[in-house]
Amino acid sequence: MFAGRVFGAIQMTKDARSRQAFDFSRLLNGRGPHQTRLRVAPGDVICRQGDPAGALFYIEKGRAKVTMVSARGKEAMVSVRGEGEFVGSRALVARRRSFTATALTECWVVRVAASTIVRFVREEPDFAEMFVTYLVRQSIRDQQNLAGQLTEPSEERLARVLLRLASNGAGPKSHPVVARVNQADLASMVGTTRSRVNSFMNKFRKQGFIEYNRQGDVTVHKALSKALHDS
């Protein structure tokens, strides 16, 4: 039913490809009905797997990791989300959270009731188009990340995590940017040991792909993306 409303709203738009991308923050600013703007400290949980789901979270600023725990208790990182992205979007169709989202950096997020998102979809065709496009792309990325946990070597998984941390929100390209993250966090996100992460990080630094210091400041260069695609 929800999908039908979304695509019905999209069909109402004309010359969609010629328009500029819709700015989610125009509607999701924490000031509207059933919206709350929240500050989340690094390491704090934004939403937790298994909890009741009645709202989505729009990330205005910061980075968050999305993880899931299997029935056997094994944790896997699904994605890293950044500015202009959502966590908890399954609240639109599910009663319980399927994933846990944890802030990697200080985050400013807008908590929005699922019913408000549905109303925007009905009343704002441009929002509906961009939102459903985002959901499809994010679902594809999440599936690729989970598949990578099973098929890719740890070194490649680490490279992808670093590139995602250095990406500009939902944008497909990375750029040099400093992100504070420790090797224990990286090991958790990659699904390997801290010692292996340390070895790979040293290798990447010697190759000129990254720079980092003892405080955990990491600068990721575009050369890492090229090396990953050429491998």
Q: Are 216 and 222 in contact (CB under 8 A)?
A: no
How confident is the model at residue 14, as a pLDDT?
Answer: 40
Q: In the chain, what is the straight-line distance between the N-terminal and C-terminal CA atoms, in Å?
A: 43
Q: What angle do CA 73, 192, 210 make, to 5 degrees?
A: 140
Per-residue confidence (pLDDT) for residue 178, from 0 to 100: 52
What pLDDT sits at residue 202?
92
pLDDT at 118: 95
CA geometry: angle at 217 spanning 212 and 219, to 5°? 60
Q: Which two tokens stand for residue 192?
A: 């390997």
pLDDT of residue 2: 44
Tokens 């010359």 belong to residue: 15
Instruction: Provide the pLDDT for residue 19.
Output: 42
C-alpha torsion sign, points 10, 11, 13, 18? positive
Residue 134: phi and psi, rounded to 5, are -60, -45
What is the spatial distance between Cα 20 and Cα 43, in angstroms, rounded to a whole number? 35
Which residue, among 134, 225, 132, 138, has the nearest Cα to 177 in the 3D structure?
A: 225
Q: With 0-12 CB in 10 A as exposed, 13-18 as middle and 19+ as buried, what is 124?
A: middle
* pLDDT by 10s per residue, the chain, length 231: 444 444 344 344 444 443 456 789 999 999 989 999 999 998 899 999 999 999 999 999 998 989 888 888 877 778 889 999 999 999 999 999 999 999 988 999 999 999 999 999 999 999 999 999 999 998 888 887 777 767 788 898 899 888 877 775 444 444 555 556 778 878 877 888 999 999 999 999 999 998 887 766 788 888 888 787 776
CA atoms within 13 A on the CB side of 36: 10
In the chain the domains, ranked by start, together with CATH numbers, are: 2-150 (2.60.120.10), 152-230 (1.10.10.10)
Take residue 25 and report the two structure tokens written for it.
Answer: 């923050």
pLDDT reported for residue 77? 76
Q: What is the pLDDT of residue 144?
A: 77
